[in-house]
Structure 1
């Protein structure tokens, strides 16, 4: 679950923060009313901001924009790392995204909160102000990692100058391409969608990597996180898949409390989805069988079947590799570079995650 912190400075602001937080049920929200709650009277806003910039996906200041800017400025880490930061005036009339408007989703969240509060969203990013295609917004909406965020400026700059930018994709492209985006020719700037971070179809290439790969993992009881990590690294390297393409980890339900597996997932911030032996057995397909595994957990293969289950029936990129008590397989869910406008309006498309 995403994490949000709201901070307000007056009694009226505290009420606005309460209303705004209620509009974000998918967030784990914390509210800090600094002049209302006596326990906060001795705390420093700078310390609050420092911690929130590290552990939050969203920070909302209900008060003056200047307070927010001064609070977060010392802790900015970069476009790819900073959380969404919003400012709402205490009366709830305006909602202003001040940081991570595209990659962090601040612009979309500002519009959503404004709609819920009956307020006005104040969007200042150039591509939004001029209704131009924003490649980083598209990437965030389709769960693509922006590998080299510094190159966003080349694509956005070209679009704002009225120039055409290129698109190259290792995945199927669907929908009507935005204006000024072309699959033909070789414009100076463009974006590439795929796993090859060395691909350079344009002089200025922005790399977008879909997070569509699932690690299926089976392990002997007591296997350490480091051993699992080494096996995962080897499998990914052999398949030519970067870590940034990994969406999650899958296994059988008897491993859901395995300490080493849980520590591995926590270290890489990867969700663990588990399936019952019955669900894994029912999955159609050609999998590498093991009589020993079948006798032990009730299904002839864990890693391959779990990976494919998590990937909603996707294709195996790497069959079972085994060593040091760990089995690893990789599966990729079906994914398309979809430019359908309705899908962009609806927001993120979550992967199948039918755990048992």
Structure 2
């Protein structure tokens, strides 16, 4: 298999390491910061999970706090201040914007006794990182987010740990508030769930009554106040004649979405995980432009790989087989690796489209459990 985005093609890259900025204001604190950075940089997976930068906020090589905070708040995934909470608050205050975009910010006292996630505890991962840092240095992790301090299931932590996109972060507060008040939260899911829901959460088949909707589809019956979580589980198979432009492919995709919407499955494009085709199309400029404009990855597969796929529901095409070596490109490509066909092969003026749901069961457990 090869993958391409824009003009680039090749093997899939390893995950991009997250960036962490640390600053300390005493010699003891600097030693602690370096220890944290060294441990977080280690990995058993063949690539670093974190790339850490440690700054010295004292002495002749002192880094001024204000420019340090501005640089790392804008460019890093997490910041660790080894010092007081007051120092950290004053440093980050001018830059705080939103819980959905702000980096995790953690404070560690210079003696290494306390580790406090200060900002973006759930979505930004500060609580998770604080637990890990506490293990590294033997500190007490101080969690102030309500669900965590009471040992309750957190919907936004769950969503982030399982790669679910949060449509409207303001709705998280309503769900967490209901659970904290001891009321039952109802979850509707269009993807399989691996285990029983935690205390306070109840599964429902009635989307209209759901407080949380887990689905790649826009469901008109859902309450406008529901928290909608989007799994990236749609695989789009595309085939096209040689030289088909981006406009023709976009038109075919719009027609597909319109048809699915009429069946009650309005596609949210954020649910698309990948676009797939045969390797003969790896350098099709129109297809590459279509993927680039949507921010989607194009994966291409050999004739031999596609020929092994089972589960196609559409009639085979002798013409396609003469040209490509397989009787169906889009459906076979979308199905490779498993899944369920929700939109079988449809042809639109030299472009074929198929949509498959590829959803692994999701556990209610989180990385913090």
Q: TM-score, normalised by structure 1?
A: 0.77
Instruction: State the Cα distance separating 1:281 from its structure 2 match.
Output: 0.5
How many aligned residue pairs are there?
A: 337
Tell me the distance in 2 between the aligned counterparts of 1:66 and 1:263: 49
Residues 1:213 and 2:234 are matched in the alignment: yes
Q: Report what 2:82 is aligned to.
A: 63
Instruction: State the Cα distance separating 1:74 from its structure 2 match.
Output: 4.0
Post-superposition CA distance 1:172-206 (Å, at most 9, x none): 555322212234799988222222354335x8422
SS in 2 for 1:44: helix
Match of 1:193 among 214, 234, 246: 214
Larger radius of gyration: 2
Q: What 5-or-longer segments of structure 1 have no aligned partner?
A: 348-356
Q: Report what 1:291 is aligned to.
A: 318
Instruction: State the Cα distance separating 1:212 from its structure 2 match.
Output: 1.3
Tell me the distance in 2 between the aligned counterparts of 1:257 and 1:43: 47
Instruction: State the Cα distance separating 1:133 from its structure 2 match.
Output: 1.9
Q: Report what 1:151 is aligned to.
A: 171
Post-superposition CA distance 1:32-89 (Å, at most 9, x none): 3444998x8899325413541xxx5x22334345555445444444333334444455
Post-superposition CA distance 1:295-327 (Å, at most 9, x none): 333222221111111xx3211111223346533
Match of 2:267 among 210, 233, 241: 241
Match of 1:9 among 5, 23, 33: 23
Q: Which has the higher contact order (CA 8 A, sep 6+)?
A: 2
Q: Report what 1:350 is aligned to.
A: none
Q: TM-score, normalised by structure 2?
A: 0.75
Residues 1:320 and 2:340 are matched in the alignment: no
Aligned residues of 2:209 and 2:222 also touching (Cα < 8 A): no
SS in 2 for 1:20: helix
Instruction: State the Cα distance separating 1:107 from its structure 2 match.
Output: 2.0
Residues 1:231 and 2:252 are matched in the alignment: yes
Tell me the distance in 1 between the aligned counterparts of 2:182 and 2:65: 52
Post-superposition CA distance 1:210-236 (Å, at most 9, x none): 221111123445555555444334323
Q: What 5-or-longer segments of structure 2 have no aligned partner?
A: 1-14, 25-29, 261-265
SS in 2 for 1:270: coil
SS in 1 for 2:218: coil
Alignment of 1:28-177 (within 5 A): 29-35=50-56, 44-49=67-72, 51-52=74-75, 58-64=77-83, 65-66=85-86, 68-88=88-108, 94-173=114-193, 175-177=195-197
Distance change >3 Å, CA 185–CA 32, structure 1 → 2: closer
